[in-house]
Structure 1
Amino acid sequence: MRGVLARVALSAYRWIGVGLYPVIGSYLAFRGAKGKEDRSRRRERYGRASVERPNGPLVWFHAASVGETTAVVPLIKEVRRRGISVVLTTGTTSSAKVAAARLGSGVIHQYVPLDLKPAVSRFLDYWHPDLAIIAESEIWPMTILELGARHIPQVLVNGRLSDRSFKRWKSRPGLADALFENLALVIAQTEEDAERFRTLGALPVLVSGNLKVDTDSPPYDPAVLREYRDQVGDRKTWAAISTFEGEEAAAGNVHRVLKERLGLLTIIVPRHPERCDAIEDMLKAKGLTVARRTRGDPLTPETDVFLGDTIGEMGLYLRMTEVAFVGRSLFAEGGQNPLEPAMLGCAVLSGANVQNFRESYQKLAKSGSARMVRDVEMLAKGVNYLLTHDDVRRTMIEAGQETVQDMRGALRATIKGLEPYINPLTVKARLHPREPS
């Protein structure tokens, strides 16, 4: 019975999508007005290609946003090294910028088609991917069903399921079976994630570890870093990164408490830079002087907060400090990736709501390289303690870098899992290039 209900639900989803297709333009226009869509490339969201398909075999990678894009960059480079063409789709303008910065012109970027049958079909008809590789937890019903109908292998890499997502899918077992059975392979981050995917009907499932550990260090401009370090001088610094609403205000309050005692400069890097105008207004209302990266403002002795309102420069911001609070953890839920600051030499602070990165935080906390805080008062105490106890801070930094190094190996495990799908395409790329569509 549940199989019948699942088919009915998916059929309804398909036809609702067909009905909405003619009027979806207003939705995209609304997102474009908010800076969430690239209006000059809106046709790509309807599955209309903006560049020519290359000859030969092609792998379609999909990564929803910045974190997923960063995670699959080394994997994409390995596929390209084998002579296989890649089209990478992402869903946000920020992830598109990261893809351009880290992959350049060697990889085709397109915005992901809407999960509506006309858009997905048009995309697949044009690109004819030989393999689809999806990052982390992007489960789009129409896309999965269309790939399955065309017998295109689908592999989920760096797979994870949050507590909330697992609970939601588990409450719809028929729907989960109907979708997850289309996946040729799931390569999960942890044993817990792997067991969750198996429960939902995915087979086979392997475990690789977290691909984010095997990414290259975030790029930065050494000349810009030197300029900012010269401007900062001997002032103490700390950073609040990947922050969500409420956490920028918390960082501002921490700065006000510690400013006179430490001669402090606070660096705030919101997860969504489009919020920075409102954040600046809020910080100014607290009496704080704000410099912004996009304006090229100098960091003077009077500057209280350096607002990192750019995409793809986390490597710059984190190299300006040795203490980093990782957001979406104090007021919002789920957490953000703590491995990048640990990798770049920061002692890590975080709120307790880190369900989406539970294993990473457990390993960092066990090694003594990350500390959890309950509230703003405890965050202020943690920042003060780390900035005034050099030995403790250095011990945390060294432990973090060692922990990240010990966690490496996910890329190698993922490539090994993908070999049955990638190796035939490697041979095909060398011997039988395909004519352009």
Structure 2
Amino acid sequence: MRLIYSVAWWIALPLVLLRLLLRGRQEPGYRRHVAERLGFYGDVAHDGISPILWVHAVSVGETRAAQPLIDALLAAYPAHRILLTHMTPTGRATGRELFGKQDRVIQSYLPYDTGWMVGRFLRHFRPQLCVLMETEVWPNVMAQCTQRRVPVALVNARLSQRSLNRALRFPALFGEAAAAMSCVAAQTDGDAQRIRQLGAPNVHVTGSIKFDVVPPAAMLERGAALRAQFGQRAVLTCANTRDGEEALILDALPSLDVADALLVIVPRHPQRFDEIARMITARGLSLARRSSAGDTPIGDARVFLGDSMGEMFAYYAASDIAFVGGSLLPLGGHNLIEACAVGKPVLIGPHTFNFADAADNAIAAGAALRIADAEELMKQATSLLLDERERKQMGENARQFSQQHGGATERTMTLLAPLLVPQSMAAR
């Protein structure tokens, strides 16, 4: 089965590269470092001496989630360097933002999942440990790591029932990959149960590392500066919105019955910034953009477009209420923990299957409310914006919810330590 899978990759490769080229028209980052995606790493700074711990974080969310773990690995293993790999330019940019000043962290793309390309990658970097963040399980990566005796840990792991059902259609492929894992650190009991069902051994529940992410002081300061631009206006931030959601939100905006309220939209994908700007102005709404407003007041703009990367904590800090996107449509939702960490009341839509436990627990803690659609989003936001006492209580509940669920990084480090002991002893 894996042979068929690998052949399919090689057949599809010209189309995959064409897609990179086309997508690069909107996101130039997709046209950079293409050789790395094919297993060639001559330009990647690597001294060939320092032992490597490899952490794979596919995109922005996984990279941010990896920060506490990478910091802990750097502290616990001072002789090692971290190889941080990604699949998207935005993930790579986020890694550069978080670790660009840390010379012990090197970055590259993970190659496409063929045995030959992954083999070149492993021969070049010779990692002592592979740490996959959240949901990234690649059959040839697993096979090549097994062949080279590189232990693999899936951490901060989550697996929805929908994803499990898809994987179970190909048990010879994904079951074999899951069985090759050295250990799994799952976010919740439900995730652990589904991952075991897929065939993974040594599965533990450690919680979500995202609860250990601390809002950077610089981002909070930037948020305060943004808030000064917004003035005394009530602010509803709709963050991590996905294709199709912005139209629903904008069409429902008249239901936000709060005088002079400001809607902030922060799309999930940067290639859609201009598209969303056109969508806003086409509805006759006055628009200000983060990229052009700078630090100047935004005047009477009805909508503020957060067309920047790496500032999510700042947008949340500048808001009164946060709606977390990907949840109005059946897309699975996105991380609500960042909004909770800065003490903001959270609204989420009906579709949060990617973060089901976190969403349900936040609701139970009084930190979040679930809304059925965009109209109810605006009505619930109106109610909270007009009720300062309730809004502040929800915000405090959100902060406490974030703080009470920490500790996953320490528990994950305990699981990873035995995987490194034999190699560390051998190195001595």
- When normalised by structure 2's length, the TM-score is 0.93
Code of the aligned partner of 2:44: V
**Which secondary structure state, in structure 1, belongs to the residue aligned with residue 293 of structure 2?**
coil
Q: Which amino acid aligns with 1:98?
A: T
Question: Which residue does 1:85 correspond to in 2?
Answer: 81
Asked if structure 1 preserves the Cα contact closer than 8 Å seen for 2:209 and 2:408, the reply is yes
Q: Residue in 2 aligned with 1:285?
A: 282
Query: 1:142-181, aligned counterparts within 5 Å?
Result: 142-181=140-179
Q: Is the alpha carbon distance of 1:272 and 1:342 closer, same or farther for their aligned partners in structure 2, counting shifts above 3 Å? A: same
What root-mean-square deviation, in Å, do the aligned CA atoms of Structure 1 and Structure 2 show?
Answer: 2.0
Q: Distance in 2 between matches of 1:370 and 1:28?
A: 38
CA-CA distance at 1:148 after TM superposition? 1.3
Counterpart in the other structure of 2:267: 270
SS in 2 for 1:110: strand
Instruction: Give the Cα–Cα distance (whole angstroms) in 1 for the partners of residues 173 and 154 of structure 2.
Output: 18
Q: Which position in structure 2 is the counterpart of 1:14?
A: 6
Partner of 2:182: 184
Q: Does residue 335 of the first structure (1) align with residue 345 of the second (2)?
A: no
Match for residue 62 of structure 2 among 59, 62, 68: 68
Q: Give the letter for the 1:303 counterpart.
A: A
Contact 2:344-2:395 within 8 A present in 1 as well: yes
Looking at structure 1, the residues matched to 141 and 248 of structure 2 have their Cα atoms a distance apart, in angstroms, of 40
The verdict on how the C-alpha distance between 1:241 and 1:219 changes in structure 2, with shifts beyond 3 A counting, is: farther
Return the offset for 1:177: 2.8
**Is it true that 1:26 corresponds to 2:18 in the alignment?**
yes
Partner of 2:358: 360
CA distance in structure 1 between the aligned counterparts of 2:278 and 2:417, rounded to whole angstroms? 52
Contact 2:143 2:180 in 1 (8 A): yes
Match of 1:38 in 2: 30
Kept in 2: contact 1:155–1:186 (CA 8 A): yes
* CA deviation after TM superposition for structure 1 residue 92, in Å: 0.9
**2:249 equivalent among 237, 248, 251:** 251
Q: In 2, distance between residues paired with 1:158 and 1:172?
A: 23
Superposed counterparts of 1:21-420, under 5 Å: 21=13, 24-35=16-27, 37-49=29-41, 50-54=43-47, 55-81=49-75, 82-83=77-78, 84-104=80-100, 105-106=102-103, 107-218=105-216, 220-221=218-219, 224-258=222-256, 261-296=258-293, 298-420=296-418
Distance 1:263 1:22, change over 3 A: closer
- Structure number with higher relative contact order (C-alpha < 8 Å, ≥ 6 residues apart): 1
- The aligned length equals 421
Question: Quick one: percent identity of the two aligned structures?
Answer: 34
Structure-2 change in CA distance of 1:29 and 1:361 (3 Å)? same
Letter in 2 for 1:192: G
Note closer, same or farther for the CA distance 1:224–1:179 as it changes in structure 2 (3 Å cut). Answer: closer
Could you state the TM-score of these two structures normalised by the residue count of structure 1? 0.91
Q: Answer whether contact 2:139 2:176 (CA < 8 A) is retained.
A: no
Measured at CA, do residues 170 and 20 of structure 1 come closer, stay the same or move farther in structure 2, by a change above 3 Å? closer
Superposition deviation, residue 28 in structure 1? 2.7
Q: CA deviation at 1:232?
A: 1.9
Relative distance call for 1:163 and 1:235 in structure 2 (3 A) is: same
Deviates more, 1:89-98 or 1:100-109: 100-109
Structure 2 unaligned regions, length at least 5: none
Instruction: Label 1:189 to 1:222 Cα distance change in 2 as closer, same or farther (>3 A).
Output: closer
CA contact (8 A) 1:36 1:92 kept: no
Call closer, same or farther: CA 1:221–1:416 in 2, change over 3 Å. closer
Q: 3-state SS of the aligned residue for 1:145?
A: helix
**Is 1:10–1:141's contact at 8 Å kept on the other side of the alignment?**
yes
| Alpha carbons 2:139, 2:173 under 8 Å: kept | no
Distance 1:315 1:426, change over 3 A: farther
How far the C-alpha of 1:422 sits from its partner, in A, is: 3.3
Partner AA of 2:34 in structure 1: R
The 1:258–1:20 alpha-carbon spacing in structure 2 relative to 1, beyond 3 Å, is: closer
Q: CA deviation at 1:250?
A: 2.8
- Deviation, 1:375, is 1.5
1:21 and 1:116 in contact (8 A); partners too: no
User: What's the secondary structure of 1:404's corresponding residue?
Assistant: helix
Distance 1:385 1:158 in 2: 35
State the distance in 2 between where 1:159 and 1:100 align: 23
Q: 1:427 to 1:305 in 2, by over 3 A?
A: farther
Cross-structure match for 1:435: none
SS class of match (2:284): coil
Moved more, 47-56 or 205-214: 47-56
Contact conserved, 1:327 with 1:336, CA < 8 A, in 2?
yes
Q: Which residue of 2 aligns with 1:434?
A: none
Cα offset for 1:362? 1.1
**CA deviation after TM superposition for structure 1 residue 36, in Å:** 6.8
Give the aligned residue type for 2:18: S
Q: Is the 8 A contact 2:58 2:87 kept in 1?
A: yes
